[in-house]
Structure 1
Amino acid sequence: MRVHFIAIGGAAMHNLAIALHLKGFEITGSDDVVYEPSKTRLKNQGILPKQEGWHPENITQEIDAIILGMHAKIDNPELLRAQELGLKVYSYPEYIYEQSKDKIRIVIGGSHGKTTITSMILHVLNYYKKDFDYLVGAQIAGFDTMVKLSDAPIIVIEGDEYLASPIDRRPKFHLYKANIGVISGVAWDHINVFPTFENYKEQFSLFIDTIEPNGTLIYCEEDESLKNLVEDHDIKNQLEIIPYQTPDYRIEDGKTYLKNVPKEYKINVFGKHNLMNLNAARLVCNKIDVSSEDFYQAIASFKGAAKRLELLVETNNSAVFKDFAHSPSKLQATINAVKEQYPNRNLIACIELHTFSSLNEDFLSEYKNTMNGADIAIVFIDEKTLLQKSLKSFSKEKIIEGFCTDKLMFFNQSEKIKTYLESLSMKNTNLLMMSSGTFGGIDLISLAKSILKI
């Protein structure tokens, strides 16, 4: 089977390419630029394109399938050539479905928590050496790739609500046709694609309709918007509906313990949102014959997915964390989690506005009061990001108005925010760095060591 990837360098795309290569497929690909770590990982597998750019002459009738990445545009010369030849063009979620039609498909959807819930399930299944495939949006300890495709009977999929490809405007998670579907919460995001909250919520209603008949929907009933959506939804496909909540827990000396399950378990992750994620993962595992007791035994050793409340450096009275949080709900949940875990420490919280939604002036008001839990609140916007995305600059006044706090600091150059952070006293203080970007290329581990004087 010969498969060609247009825009092979993407995070999901290069992982899928490697997974198919390891399965014995003949893989070719192209991209106008391939960044690390994709570049080295493709090179190590011998499937890195020999030269960058688009080469329509390489698209021939001998190719069995084309997989089109979101980075490509609709006028991509290789795509146009494939269409001219009548070749089958898939988005990567479509192709994942093609490879998993005969499996039990577990799809984790929601505005937040998808990666963590998926990672928790993978950790537990791996702990018990179960046979399963997966697609997850972050690197997880114990897993070499973010995609695995084999003859396993189960696949666990992180179901993103963003668009499938430049020529397929359906949300990715609609294409997987879950047997077991999870919705962790609904909070408006991707406003460049879904211009109203109602339009955004509709995608989750449609997701429910894609769950296979006699399948299962597991959802967080503590999210009022989601609870109303599920209760008001005319469910036509005979689903088992399972709501979940935050489990009982306590915090002692910066450690979290699950209570009454049936005994107490110390866990490595923390924060109410992560405990809700844990309950969702437990219910999924129950559906595939992992008991709650076995789940708790395994989850105690789970240390989290990369960039999800990831501890970078710590001392006896200070710590630096990084997190992928960028939407308002994620930002507030992450700040509250760190503050609750360490109530006697000050908290410096820094958010980089990086996505199209967060850099939209009309969306800024959605961040109102989200940083009120921090002792020092910092917003960073990289000037280079605005240039790359052809977006206009923000004034400090507009940021303060949106976040609705006058104690907020604002920076738009990475060196200035780095200098400011290094000037602060970190005694009995935690620092939380949140972004889906890179803070203008700052090496966060080096910064953390510098700040904590390690």
Structure 2
Amino acid sequence: MLLHVLKQTGRKFDFMVGANIKGFDTMVELSDESGIAVFEGDEYLSSPIDRRPKFLWYKPQIALVTGVAWDHINVFPAEEVYNHQFELFAQSIDPGGSFIYYQQDPVLQTIAKEHPELNVLPYNEVEASSEGGETLVACDGEKFALKIFGHHNFQNLAGALLVAKELGVSEKDFLKSMRCFEGAARRLQILSEKEDASVFYDFAHAPSKVKATVAAVKDQFPQRNLLAVVELHTFSSLNREFLPQYKGAMAAADEAVVFFNPEVVAHKKLEEITTTDVEQAFAQKGLKVFTDGDKLHQFLAGQRLKNSNLLLMTSGNFAGIDVNALAGEVLG
């Protein structure tokens, strides 16, 4: 969102982010001319021999943290260890710098109170309404139609707006710029759609992200049946001890499917997990669990979406399923 707004408003800036965004040929640009650098922070380890989070190298003047939800159990074996990395990140901000954080996150609430040397700016969620399938946000009596939807996106919008204001962008210019923002690749990306059905593709894999993404699609299209599919692919999601974190993550879906590949579990040298382990962890009535990519493809290709949405979530590739071809099949 920030990259898009800065580009739309004619700012010169450097950047480094992990997602592909329409209008950018590359996702890294560094120069000697820019007065602004927008970096996407990452709490994952810096390298195999340096287990410190990558975001501790940045020393920002403005920092935005959208939430803290335990992940990467292979690096941070306990939730407390994981949470502490964000305290270390707050300590790395330049004294007098801005710490912008999602106000409803209890971990961030505690961190914010411990740093009076920072300009602490909490945010909640931009007020938005939906009319005719459009998301509308008001400012100074004017309504701006946006293409994004979902509570997590409205929260991120509020955080990005605060950063933009710190950089001298007005709220009205920010919202004007956001009207043509289509989101990042694999962030509620629409693979195919027709009048009464859509196929969405999303990078969501951690429990909090899965929950937010499923809820976003259901909230935006409450009248449509939602078939949500998630692949367990990361070290954390395939860890037997971490699996219970997924309890209720797909509760907003009318039909829920989980896929994992036992070969990936073995490749990561993790303890074997079973379909029963997954069913018990998600604790969702009617949950379908697949461990064979061909059978998953057969099941999904057999769907014919009518007044329905299909949501595909993975940081992997569903054992090689061509999701674009699948989207065409289910809407055919």
1:123 match:
4
The alignment partner of 1:433 has SS state of strand
Take 2:266 and 2:74, find their aligned partners in 1: how far apart are those partners? 17
Take 1:144 and 1:424, find their aligned partners in 2: how far apart are those partners? 36
2:58 match:
176
Asked if the contact 2:247/2:283 (under 8 Å) is kept, the reply is yes
Asked if the contact 2:90/2:111 (under 8 Å) is kept, the reply is no
The alignment partner of 2:265 has SS state of helix
Cα RMSD (Å): 1.2
With normalisation by structure 2, the TM-score equals: 0.97
Asked if the contact 1:161/1:203 (under 8 Å) is kept, the reply is yes
Letter in 2 for 1:401: Q
**Structure 2, unaligned stretches of length 5 or more?**
none
2:20 to 139, 143, 164: 139
Cα distance change of structure 1 residues 224 and 424 upon mapping to structure 2, 3 Å threshold: same
Identity of aligned residues (%): 46
1:209 aligns with 2:91: yes
May I ask how many residue pairs the two structures share in their alignment?
Answer: 331
Q: CA deviation at 1:196?
A: 1.1
Letter in 2 for 1:256: T
1:384 match:
263
Take 1:418 and 1:393, find their aligned partners in 2: how far apart are those partners? 23
Asked if the contact 1:184/1:219 (under 8 Å) is kept, the reply is yes
Cα distance change of structure 1 residues 291 and 420 upon mapping to structure 2, 3 Å threshold: same
Take 1:434 and 1:314, find their aligned partners in 2: how far apart are those partners? 17
Asked if the contact 1:189/1:357 (under 8 Å) is kept, the reply is yes
The alignment partner of 2:83 has SS state of helix
The alignment partner of 1:266 has SS state of strand
Take 1:386 and 1:253, find their aligned partners in 2: how far apart are those partners? 44
Q: CA deviation at 1:142?
A: 0.9
Cα distance change of structure 1 residues 290 and 415 upon mapping to structure 2, 3 Å threshold: same
Take 2:108 and 2:233, find their aligned partners in 1: how far apart are those partners? 26
1:328 aligns with 2:210: no
Q: CA deviation at 1:382?
A: 2.0
Asked if the contact 1:349/1:378 (under 8 Å) is kept, the reply is yes
The alignment partner of 1:380 has SS state of strand
With normalisation by structure 1, the TM-score equals: 0.71
Q: CA deviation at 1:140?
A: 0.8
After superposition, where does 1:243-262 map in structure 2 within 5 Å?
243-260=122-139, 262=141
Take 1:139 and 1:173, find their aligned partners in 2: how far apart are those partners? 20
Q: CA deviation at 1:373?
A: 0.7
The answer to which structure, 1 or 2, has the higher relative contact order (CA under 8 A, 6+ apart) is 2
Take 1:416 and 1:261, find their aligned partners in 2: how far apart are those partners? 53
After superposition, where does 1:50-69 map in structure 2 within 5 Å?
none
Q: Deviations over 1:4-44 (max 9, x none)?
A: xxxxxxxxxxxxxxxxxxxxxxxxxxxxxxxxxxxxxxxxx
1:411 match:
290
Q: CA deviation at 1:391?
A: 2.6
The alignment partner of 2:4 has SS state of helix
1:223 match:
105
**Higher Cα radius of gyration:** 1
Detail structure 1 runs of 4+ shifted over 3 Å in the superposition: 259-262
Take 1:261 and 1:162, find their aligned partners in 2: how far apart are those partners? 41
